[in-house]
Amino acid sequence: MIVDPLDEYPIRDYPRNAIRLDLNESPIPPPREVLEEMARELERVNRYPEARLILEARRALAEYSGVDPGMVALTGGGDYGILTLLALFKGRWGRIIVPAYTYSMTPHLARALGMKVSTVPMVEGEWWGIDEDRLFKEARIGGAIFIDSPNNPTGSRLLPARRLVELAEEARGPVVVDEAYYDFEGDSIAGYTESHPNLISLRTLSKAFSLAGMRVGYIIAEESVTRTLRAVAPFPVSRPGLAAVKVLASNPGHVRGLVGMVKAERERLKAAMRGLGLRVYNSRTNFLLVDTPLERPYKVLEEMGVYVKRVPIRETMMRATVGAPRDNDALLSALAKVLS
């Protein structure tokens, strides 16, 4: 055998009219002007993107993030950003350090590359936390730290940006902050990356930008890092994807509107589920972590046409994406039925 076998990520088909609340996607598509710009680029997909298209997308994301364009590197979604960083780190850092509960693809990809994975305990509460003493101790020993803040699947901000900067200052390796849910939370380490070369922000346009199906992400880091990333992936995003990035990041009204709607629905959904007697943890993201009296609630709800995510903390838990109001109502209705 030339490779160690790995389990595939479970991708499913959905029946018609299914309520999809399992993948933390946006409940609404991009605005029409974005789709029209993407369609124009579809007519030229026989050609690789010109430098101008890539630079325009990078400039738009840099302005949106408040950094210099040289500090931005595009990636094929957050997953390929993680994979690229891990591949670059593997030779110098033989292991990664992650929270006990984290985005599942990060340790999965690290193991695929033959890296050791060390986990740091987390602290359960209405807001989840992380064992900071243990985290800083592991950082001083050495390794590549990957910490998602806000965290998936708990929804909590594990460390504020200033504390993450202190972690980078004491770490013997790179500190990658997965900011996939930054747009819903607002606290970011991006402004500190220029002065801290080992501090890296990883972001995706799959959530607040409504581009999950386009697979677009980006990395913010000191320019020596982003130059290397651009060197190993000169054409990381498709022409339609670049067009969408430019329009959305240059005119972020869609993002602001979506974030506002999701936050309002998140609080409504949280209050309603607590009213049903469920333990619902606080969240700074577009999803809620829920503990229930049910065994495998994700299976129970799936039989009712409502899809939520299994959580590897306890079999009574589920992670529910905040969807459009009618989708959230469907979830509440299904929960009320099974709990009665």
Round to whole Å and give the CA distance between 36 and 210: 15
Class of domain 32-250: alpha beta
Burial 73-109 (b: 16+ CB within 10 A, else e): bbbbbbbbbbbbbbebbbeebebbbbbebbbebbbeb
Round to whole Å and give the CA distance between 214 and 41: 13
Beta bridge partners of 116: 95
pTM here? 0.95
Q: DSSP H helical segments within the chain, as ranges?
A: 32-42, 51-65, 77-89, 105-112, 132-141, 161-170, 182-185, 223-232, 239-250, 253-275, 297-302, 325-339
Pick the CATH number of 19-28+254-339 from 3.30.413.10, 3.40.50.720, 3.30.465.10, 3.90.1150.10: 3.90.1150.10
Cα-Cα-Cα-Cα torsion 126, 132, 138, 143, nearest 10 degrees, comes to 70
Count other C-beta atoms under 10 Å from residue 331's C-beta: 26
Mark residue 66 as left, alpha or beta (left: phi above 0; alpha: psi -120 to 50; beta: remaining): left
DSSP states of 32-97: HHHHHHHHHHHTTTTSPPPHHHHHHHHHHHHHHHTS-GGGEEEESHHHHHHHHHHHHHTTT--EEE
Tokens found for residue 112? 């695929």
What is the per-residue pLDDT for 208?
97
Contact 136, 167 (CB under 8 A): yes
Query: Which residue's structure tokens are 């309002």?
Result: 264
End-to-end CA distance of the chain: 52
Of 95, 170, 77, 189, whose CA–CA distance to 132 is shortest? 170
What are the residue ranges of CATH 3.90.1150.10 in the chain? 19-28+254-339
Q: Provide CB contacts within 8 A for 325, sequence distance 6+.
A: 265
Round to whole Å and give the CA distance between 49 and 57: 11
Query: Which residue's structure tokens are 């677009």?
Result: 216
ω into residue 150 within 30 of 0, thus cis?
yes
Count other C-beta atoms under 10 Å from residue 268's C-beta: 15
Burial 291-327 (b: 16+ CB within 10 A, else e): bbebeebbebbbeeebbbbbbebeeebbbbbbbbeeb
What are the residue ranges of CATH 3.40.640.10 in the chain? 32-250
Q: Enumerate residue ranges in the chain where pLDDT < 70.
A: none
What is the per-residue pLDDT for 17?
92
Of 156, 181, 122, 153, whose CA–CA distance to 312 is shortest? 153
